[in-house]
Amino acid sequence: QKEVEQNSGPLSVPEGAIASLNCTYSDRGSQSFFWYRQYSGKSPELIMFIYSNGDKEDGRFTAQLNKASQYVSLLIRDSQPSDSATYLCAVILIPTGTYKYIFGTGTRLKVLA
């Protein structure tokens, strides 16, 4: 089982719709959760992070964390063609005092104009 799993997509949504991106993780010791956006040929850029159960909103983006079910999701409201990119979920593990920052393979989002 992969430590962080995402559906590779592509996920296609019409402009103005809500895009829902999901991520599951295997280690209950996971402490911090991040969503990054990566355009083709570019490096990842941070969208938002979430540490506690529940929802966290930032503009058009909402991150949701459910530690009991071990999933984290990202909602993008009023999706725009410029949101078309790969969305990476990342999780921090600190097993035995060491540090690992684990990324999923990413979900490719296409917003159709």
Q: 105 is written with which tokens?
A: 């393979």
- Nearest distance in Å: CB 16, other proteins: 28
**Residue in 20, 49, 71, 110 binding other proteins, rule: CB under 8 A:** 49
Identify the CA nearest to 33 among candidates 76, 93, 87, 84. 93
**Residue in 85, 106, 109, 111 binding other proteins, rule: CB under 8 A:** 106
Binding residues among 5-44 for other proteins as defined by CB under 8 A: 32, 34, 36, 42-44
**Residue in 45, 55, 57, 58 binding other proteins, rule: CB under 8 A:** 45
**Residue in 11, 17, 75, 92 binding other proteins, rule: CB under 8 A:** 92
Query: CB-based burial of residue 79 (10 Å sphere; 0-12 exposed, 13-18 middle, 19+ buried)?
Result: buried
Tell me the residue type at 42: K
Residue 47 region by backbone torsions, left for phi larger than 0, else alpha for psi between -120 and 50, else beta = alpha
Binding residues among 51-80 for other proteins as defined by CB under 8 A: none
User: Strands 11-14 and 107-112: what pairing?
Assistant: parallel
* Binding-site ranges for other proteins (CB under 8 A): 4, 32, 34, 36, 42-46, 49, 88, 90, 92, 98-106
